[in-house]
Amino acid sequence: MSEPQQGLSYAEILALAQTAEAAGLEAFFRSDHYSSFPGEAGLPTTDAWATLAGLARETSSIHLGTLVSPVTFRGPGNFAKLAATVDEMSDGRLEVGMGAGWNDQEHAQHGIPFPSLVERYDQLEEALAIVHGLWTEPDGWSFSGRHWQVRDALFRPRPDRSGARHPHLILGGDGGPRQARLVATWADEFNRQSATPERLREAYGRVRDACQAAGRDPETVVYSAMVGVLVATTPSELRDRVRAQLSMLGSRDDADAWLAERRGRWVIGTLEEAYERLEALAEAGCQRIMLQDFLPRDLEMVTLLGRLATG
């Protein structure tokens, strides 16, 4: 899970994705942001879906996707077409993350409306219904919502998923009651962000309850987590990476204190320490882990992540 808004060019994103593919990682995700953070403001940023289209043609096996695309950036009809196009370009390797959006500053900087959280969730609920409908409902399908309407839909090409209902659709967040209901209704995967074992158990429980209330088998949902990552082969190498991380973040924090504060919530340390952390998340019900990398130019660490994942 990468954060290319930290100033990465397309060439750097490509190197990151190809390194992840060569390392044997299952998927490469990127954020969908237009302003640079964390770290220095004003760095170059790229459009997530333009770069995913390029990666679709310049990789061959790794899955590709966003975590997550905000509904404020992507109107549902356009988004359904965009994702279906990139899915075709990747030969069916696309995974689609959708969310309500949260960074008000980047919306203001780019002239993108940023309504209240309640309204953004209203928009997300309609967008999920429309994206799902355009991908799966019969020709002539219509939808009437407060924010968007669809009349006599005719959507081509439809994503071909060989038996799946649509491209793998991920909703990410804290798994509150409303989000849990949206997962149960539309999603193939729920991704708990800022995950600890305790948070995972609570959020996964809410999603399972929502599935049962909706008459859906909870086991048809993939339960995943997004976790910050910083790993190394030796303690000395780890300290070097902590210093590099602080430099990229523009932080003056004490390195030891910064490391200690994150040990309980990141996958961090030597590979042996990282394995222990992964096992704790798995015991909490996590079936898939997105390793959130804030050192995207450190390709050696990406190769280590491959060893961690395939260990």
Beta-carbon neighbour count of residue 163 at 10 Å? 5
pLDDT tens digit string along 123-137?
Answer: 999 999 999 999 999
* Degrees, nearest 5: CA angle 73-110-150: 30
Q: What domains does the chain contain, in order, with CATH numbers?
A: 4-310 (3.20.20.30)
**CA–CA dist 160, 128 (Å, integer):** 18
* Range with lowest mean pLDDT among 45-54, 67-76, 160-169, 301-310: 160-169
Q: What is this structure's pTM?
A: 0.94
Phi, psi of 291 (to 5 degrees): -90, 110
CA distance 40 to 51: 22
Average pLDDT of the residues in 232-252: 92
φ and ψ of 230, to 5 deg = -155, 105
Per-residue model confidence as pLDDT tens digits over 90-134? 999 999 999 999 999 999 999 999 999 999 999 999 999 999 999
pLDDT value at residue 252: 87
What tokens appear for 127 in the block? 């967008």
